[in-house]
Structure 1
């Protein structure tokens, strides 16, 4: 596949972090894209990143399930990509431009014969888009099209959000609406009566701790894959309840 006309191949987005620069690789790469679900997007809800209702949380249709080669065992959840249909005059929509999506799900491999037609198998780089997003760049009858993709910084409205789950003995926090690099790599939590505690990834962007934090106001430190870190002080009030979501008022 040739390089898309009129585009400059970028080496990365440079981010200043603690006096040094970290880069997100924004070079264009080859992949393929399909779609799943219908025009209402119902089948794209939930998913392996743990985001739940994507409409309620602001992601809408602008999402994709990633193949094993891109999903990286869930570490890529929340990352944003720009995608264009290329080198298929019959199936790429003319002058369609690009779409921008957030990684919210996993496209699992399928090793049943014929294996060569299962596009989400390693080492294939593949995006399984919502139908509305696929139809922005390609014809429905195509089914699958070659694309170019690159990482981009996520542009989100409002602050990083923290959804409280679990029980009094085990707390699970879903982080969503994360801007910047988008993919969270580290989370710490501090109750108003204690010290900073490192949380561990449970699955997707759900982070857990066994600390007894019920009844305490909570602060968080969040780090993304580009090394940038933000402290969200007193973001969760002491009267919080499981199932509630709180806006951190800041974003990357």
Structure 2
């Protein structure tokens, strides 16, 4: 099946599909960096990951323009990025870095796309940490041409589930997802319930309006390629909001 056919089918079925997740072809984009403490992106972004060092993303994180962010469904996806076609700014040999999508780079239509409005639609743009940017280009560059391709995410340890909410509003933040990286469906199960589908609240925060207090919790996580992993009894019966638990990995 060709990419065009697959795109049409995805549109008709109104499903979340990620053709590029399986596509290793290099595509053209641009990249800049944002300067923060320790040369890393550490602040909470549009994917809801919070402190990116605590969630293991740290300096190898990136904010994506609208074309790449896809309304948050790309959160957690991994990209290989290299600087190309600029003899002054690109490092010799065009080394690459692997980045995880953790934030949205908003458009600025008051500025042209080639000067300040890097993330204006339909531009494909990566806003990187200074440390990651310096591994592919000179720090004194403002914007550089890059090539990118989707790649599998390599994560250490299992998928992490951070519990938040209140008695009748239950939310879980899902991080450290391997392979596809992007989560498209989540179910939760208590010891007194069946499997309950959760809805995306924002980024990779998923919710349901069920009282799960006092029950050990299991999770079923599905990624863009349709693969599912089930982690049984991840959280014990005495779990509390704010705690993080580790499950299985893809």
Same fold per superposition (TM over 0.5):
yes
Deviation at 1:41, TM superposition (A): 4.1
Partner of 2:13: none
Matches within 5 A, 1:142-153: 142-153=141-152
SS in 1 for 2:86: coil
Partner of 1:17: none
Distance 1:87 1:64, change over 3 A: same
Which runs of at least 4 in structure 1 moved beyond 3 Å after TM superposition?
A: 41-44, 113-116
Partner of 1:134: 133
Q: Distance in 2 between matches of 1:37 and 1:132?
A: 9
Match for residue 80 of structure 1 among 65, 78, 81: 78
Are the aligned partners of 2:56 and 2:176 in contact in 1 as well (CA < 8 Å)? yes
Length, aligned pairs only: 231
Are the aligned partners of 2:107 and 2:119 in contact in 1 as well (CA < 8 Å)? yes
SS in 1 for 2:108: coil
Deviation at 1:180, TM superposition (A): 0.6
Deviation at 1:96, TM superposition (A): 4.7
- The TM-score, its normalising length taken from structure 1, stands at 0.88
Q: Distance in 2 between matches of 1:41 and 1:185?
A: 31
SS in 1 for 2:67: helix
Are the aligned partners of 2:113 and 2:123 in contact in 1 as well (CA < 8 Å)? no
Distance 1:41 1:209, change over 3 A: farther
- The TM-score, its normalising length taken from structure 2, stands at 0.89
SS in 2 for 1:40: helix
Deviation at 1:57, TM superposition (A): 1.4
Instruction: Tell whether 2:126 aligns with 1:98.
Output: no
Give the alignment's Cα RMSD to 1 decimal: 1.5
